[in-house]
Amino acid sequence: MATLHLMVGLPCSGKTLLAKKLEIKYSAIRLTPDEWQIPLFGQDAESPEHDKRHGIIETLLWELAKRALIVGTNIILDYGFWAREEREYFRKEAKKLGASSEIHYLDVSADEIFRRLQARNKIESNKHFYIPEEYMKKWINSFQKPSPDELFRRE
């Protein structure tokens, strides 16, 4: 049975770093939207089109992920999954496809997130977005931490 792995956490929490390790451990395909968006659209985090573009990429990657799960390939979705409703949707969809699901939550303090963000923003990169601190403040307030019942693997 294939497994859908959901990477849950805020930017700068270490999701992609862990996802890269898990991709080897589980012989999985890792799908990280930022690795597609930046080459396609550049550093557009402050663009009014950013969220729309990001949504399109996530939708396309999910179509690929569904097919891979059906044929028995493990998938890691490195989306962040900030809302419980979103996490539940993907877990239910995985079950419909005959796959199990697992959440990998990176619980990092706000102070550490901001420390990492400041360091990250100093480096020009085609791998991650420059994120203004005011954006991160809003995101921290809107993020829904997974409850303990969400952290169990589901068959």
pLDDT score at 38: 85
pLDDT score at 148: 94
What domains can be seen in the chain, in order of their start residue? 3-151 (3.40.50.300)
Q: Is the pLDDT of residue 22 over 90?
A: yes
The residue-averaged pLDDT of 123-142 equals 86
Q: Which two tokens stand for residue 23?
A: 């991709």
pLDDT score at 124: 77
- Percent of the chain beyond pLDDT 90? 79
pLDDT score at 41: 87
Lowest mean pLDDT among 1-10, 12-21, 32-41, 74-83: 32-41
pLDDT score at 131: 86
The residue-averaged pLDDT of 68-91 equals 97
54: left (phi over 0), alpha (psi -120 to 50) or beta: alpha
pLDDT score at 48: 87
